[in-house]
Structure 1
Amino acid sequence: MTSIPTDYDSARAALTRLIPIAMSDTGQARRVANFLMAWWNGPDLGHFEIADLFGVDIGVANDITSVIGFLGRNDRGAVYIDSLGFAEEMQDIIARWRNPVGQGPE
């Protein structure tokens, strides 16, 4: 059985790999962006379908799992991506994927 690290440093490292994917133009990009936006603000930006893990490479799925594990282990309440130092990157992802219809990827 493979163990996926869920500590703070591992979650941050996973995010440094996930964010460039979310900003790219691949099938995985949409899935990763949906995961990050659901974490940021699911009610307004949409939710992450668990089955989307089937549509990403194993390394990407492991990175998402690392972040989810970190969030689940945290005993200090809600943790959002901006508190981990990625607020600007998150704004870029939202701008890329949630533009008004006809002005960018959906």
Structure 2
Amino acid sequence: MEDSVRFALEKLLNVAHQDTGQGRRVANFILAWWNADVHGGFDLTDLADLDPEVCEDMVTVFTWLARESSLSYPDAYKPEIIQIIRRWRPHVEID
């Protein structure tokens, strides 16, 4: 993962930890990547309710994912993602 993508992802993770509507929407984006079958998808209309800088970070991550030859998961950030799951998907059991 390139530094620019890593930086964008880390900014998104910080937003996803916030107890706000924007945090929930960013969490949906990250968790859809992590496991959409379990955590649900990401509603593209939610982009209208996000700050432009946050949208740009999502575009950076999404573009990187689209260019990868095989789908990569943010395994290096698993502890943070587990915290996001606990906050936004408390009903989901974590392995």
Task: Compute the TM-score of the two structures, normalised by the length of structure 2.
Answer: 0.91
Match of 1:45 among 36, 39, 47: 39
What displacement does 1:11 show? 1.2
Residue by residue over 1:43-64, the C-alpha shift from the partner in whole angstroms, topping out at 9 and shown as x without a partner, is: 1101100111111000000000
Structure 2 unaligned residues grouped into runs of 5+: none
Match of 1:33 among 20, 27, 37: 27
Partner letter of residue 70 of structure 1?
W
Structure 1 unaligned residues grouped into runs of 5+: 1-6, 101-106
Provide the residue aligned with 1:103 in structure 2.
none
Return the alpha-carbon distance in structure 2 between the equivalents of residues 47 and 96 of structure 1: 17
Cα RMSD after superposing both structures: 1.0
Return the alpha-carbon distance in structure 2 between the equivalents of residues 97 and 48 of structure 1: 14
* Moved >6 Å (runs of 4+): none
Return the alpha-carbon distance in structure 2 between the equivalents of residues 47 and 68 of structure 1: 14
- How many matched pairs? 91
Q: Is structure 2 residue 64 aligned with structure 1 residue 70?
A: yes
